Amino acid sequence: MKRLLSAGQRRSIKRDRKAINLQVKLEVLWGFEAGEKLSRIGRTLGLSTSTVATIRDNKDKIRASSQAATPQAATKLMCSCSLVMENMERLLSVWIEDQNQRNVPVSVVLIQKARSLFQELKQAQGGGAESETFGASHGWFARFKEWHGLATPGASGEAAHVDAEAMRRYPALLWRVILEGGYTAQQVFNVDETRLFWRWLPDWMVLSPAEKPAPGLRAARDLLTLLLGGNAAGDFKLKPLLVYPLENPRALRGFSKPNLPMLWRSHKKAWVTMGLFQEWFVYFCPPVERYCAQHGLRHKALLILDSAPGRPANLDDLSDHVRVEYLPKNTTALLQPVTQDVVAAFKACYLRRLFRLLTARAGSAGEQSAVLDFWRDYSILDAVYNISESWEEVSSAVLNGGWRKLWPECLQHDAGSRQVETLSQIRRHVVALAHRVGFSEAVEVDVVELLQSQGADLSNEELVGLEQERAAGEEGEDSLAPPPPAS
């Protein structure tokens, strides 16, 4: 007598007998190597998590099968899953994440970045890869956008631009919020994040080839992110949040991180994630309460943020006294107060303090060996205190002057002119210090270029360094080798 199966049993047998072709298996491996979670890969491809895990565990056999495929299938598979293509797409995803972290819209530049990465990786691999081509077709672009969730308005087809209309209208809208809430300039805050290569040599401080570390080391070891901010009055600077790739670098052994002059957090790519930002917000509220009490102000504040993807949407729920407002998209570069010369002034102060330390330790002889000794000994702990002291050097006039486009009514007299003079003076001082330590060819334009390069797009070399560290899952030591010159 034939035994009847339940509906659940029939569905189970149907799943067990479902044929999974080689292309689907390779797509599972692409997703896994790109850092996707198994559950997300399964949802995307219509597979169970256990099936995805089995495919992952058999990756070597699947790769071998792709090599043994029929010529027609092999052509298709090799064009899709070659080592160069896999590495290019993985690095491209890192670049996209970095763009999102810095609130830079992903545009048609993505295609150019993909081609650039492909060419460099192909040359580096050599061998059979030299004949491989990458046409950046519409089909590849559509698949890549879908796989990485880029099919969003403004994320794929249009270049980054400033929304002039939103920029024109928003200051009046913000002014209305300030009046209705009864906020003073002491109660309105803004923060922004910035990358800092804390141990980065200028072009004119040339090292011998033997002293240069491996490509990508600068990005992996010398990159950190800071969250800086303060109030519109300029009399209250917030303690910086520092995000470093390693949680426990060698230089911090024996130090209590809560006693550092800033908040220390770690992320493998040195990014301020949504979780880290939410954690920072919880820390932000008590100092604001104390500040209001000390100045006889009502316990309330207005925090203005950009619309970066990493900003949590529930910050208002975490405090009854802090209201959060977001700048319109594509206006950050020209409206956000901390972006307006504040970050530039801080980095100029940091560079000046760096050269002060160099002159104090290496003297005025300008011998390359003394300079190299300084850069070898300069650790992340040195950078932490340098950052703290440089942030203290940023004047209240600079902080206040950053609000000139967003809230001009809060400006104090002559804040703008003093701000420009201060930044120029710092640059000239850096040049003078460089001359004292023996770099007589340094001029102010070199300092300007060095400071501008600090916020530049990640190079292909830096992407490789970040991805290598992610893949290796490193939790090792800081490198003692000096960094290469800025490029």
Give 427-434's long-range contacts (Cβ < 8 A, gap of 24+): 427/348, 427/451, 429/352, 430/348, 430/351, 430/352, 430/355, 433/352, 433/355, 433/356, 433/358, 433/359, 434/204, 434/355
- Strand duo 241-244 + 223-231: pairing: antiparallel
Q: For residue range 163-197, what is the model confidence (pLDDT) as tens digits? A: 788 899 999 999 999 999 999 999 999 999 998 98
Q: How far apart are CA 483 and CA 55, in angstroms?
A: 41
85-160 has CATH 1.10.357 classification: no
Confidence at 161, pLDDT banded by 50, 70, 90: low
- pLDDT(151) > 70: no
pLDDT in tens, 395-440: 999 999 999 999 999 998 654 455 555 788 888 888 888 888 777 7
Domain map of the chain by residue range? 18-81, 85-160, 164-472
For residue 433, the model assigns a pLDDT of: 86
At 479 the pLDDT is 39
Q: What does the pLDDT read at residue 75?
A: 32
Q: What is the mean pLDDT of residues 76-93?
A: 65
Q: How far is CA 335 from CA 63, 167, 378, 398, in A?
A: 51, 7, 36, 15
Per-residue model confidence as pLDDT tens digits over 295-351: 999 999 999 999 876 788 889 889 999 999 999 987 888 899 998 789 989 999 999
Higher pLDDT, 85 or 167: 167
φ/ψ region of 116 (left if φ > 0, alpha if ψ in -120 to 50, else beta) reads alpha
The CATH number given to 18-81 is 1.10.10
Share of the chain above pLDDT 70, in %: 68
Query: Mean pLDDT highest for which of 142-151, 367-376, 406-415, 454-463?
Result: 406-415
Q: How confident is the model at residue 159 (pLDDT cuts 50, 70, 90)?
A: very low
One fold for both 18-81 and 85-160? yes
Residue 455: pLDDT band by 50, 70, 90 thresholds? low
- Tell me which of 241 and 88 has the higher pLDDT: 241
- Judged against a pLDDT cut of 50, whether residue 376 lies above it is answered with yes
pLDDT confidence of 286, banded at 50, 70, 90? very high
Question: For residue 202, what pLDDT is reported?
Answer: 62
Do 450 and 197 contact (CB within 8 A), yes or no?
no
Within a 13 Å sphere around the CA of 309, how many CA atoms are in the beta-carbon half?
16
Question: Would you say residue 290 has pLDDT above 50?
Answer: yes
Predicted local distance difference test score (pLDDT) of residue 91: 79
Phi, psi (degrees; rounded to nearest 5) at 287? -60, -35
Q: For 377-388, how does the pLDDT look when each residue is reduced to its tens digit (9 = 90+)?
A: 899 999 999 999
Per-residue HEC secondary structure of 136-186 comes to: CCHHHHHHHHHHCCCCCCCCCCCCCCCCHHHHHHHHHHHHHHHHHHCCCHH
| Residue 263 clears pLDDT 90, i.e. is over it | yes
- Is 396 within 8 Å of 235 (Cβ atoms)? yes
Q: What is the mean pLDDT of residues 128-151?
A: 67
* pLDDT value of position 472: 56
What confidence tier does 5 reach under pLDDT thresholds 50, 70, 90?
very low
Residue 466: the pLDDT is 61
The segment with the largest mean pLDDT, out of 38-47, 81-90, 204-213, is 38-47
Average pLDDT, the chain: 76
**pLDDT at residue 44 tops 50:** yes
Handedness of CA 250, 252, 256, 257 (dihedral sign): negative
Distance CA 63, CA 45 (A): 19
